[in-house]
Amino acid sequence: MCGRFTMAIDSDDVRTQLALGQMPLDWAPRYNIAPTQEVACVPFAEARSVHWFRWGLVPFWAQDPAIGSGMINARAESVAEKPAFRNSFKSKRCLILADGFYEWRKTGKGSIPFYFSLRGGEAFAFAGLWDDWEPKGVSSEPGLPGLTTCAIITTAANSLLADVHPRMPVILKGQAMWDWLLEPDVKRRLNLLQPFDAQQMQRWEVSREVNNPARDDPSLIQPAGGGLFD
């Protein structure tokens, strides 16, 4: 799964690196993005504007928005068929902007966090899904506003991640980003959901302070313990 990530690059640099449109005025560096928080998403390829969506997909048909806390990831292998995701896979795909992510290796002494990024440290996008939800029915909380939420698609881990975690987020760069949003053919769309090239990535162990979602500062991505890996 992908449960935490970073987007610490300046908004102007992100816009240039990924050829984006309008950026949010309240953009700020983030080093420990967690589920249920707002994340930077591009839902439409035409304008390429960046919007804030809440991380944890709530399908339009859900009775209770709390379902979103368990839907932060969607598996590439079942995303086209699973009821929670298939409508979004068909017509509401998005790019979720990042410059790195964390995964944890389970050991007998607890889980060890690692930070993964591209070798150049540049921005990229996760393949994502989004949906709009509005309260309905007697079970809805009075006055509860609508939500726009999203999920990150995951696939099998590449060789850099495999000894830490069996899954990784789907990373998109360049034309693959816009193909994900625009491709009408289901098979070609699914073919985009592959493990990213391990040779273009780097990793290192980081402090367990990242386990605390209240922490959000540059120290979280600094090498610790075993240091840098290729």
In angstroms, rounded to a whole number, what is the distance separating the alpha carbons of residues 170 and 127?
6
Query: Active site includes 2?
Result: yes
**Catalytic annotation, pick one of 41, 103, 150, 205:** 103
**Catalytic annotation, pick one of 2, 41, 94, 150:** 2
Using CA atoms, how far residue 1 sits from 75, 153, 170, 173, 194, in Å, is: 9, 9, 10, 20, 14
Query: Active site includes 103?
Result: yes
In angstroms, rounded to a whole number, what is the distance separating the alpha carbons of residues 144 and 146?
7
Q: Buried (b) or exposed (e) across 159-169, using 16+ Cβ within 10 A? A: ebbeebbebbb
Which residue spans within 28-70 are E strands per DSSP?
30-33, 38-42, 51-55
Bridge partners of 5, per DSSP, are 33, 101
From the list 169, 147, 143, the residue with the least C-alpha distance to 156 is: 169
What one-letter code names the amino acid at 23? Answer: M
Q: Structure tokens of 147?
A: 């939500």
Residues with catalytic function: 2, 103
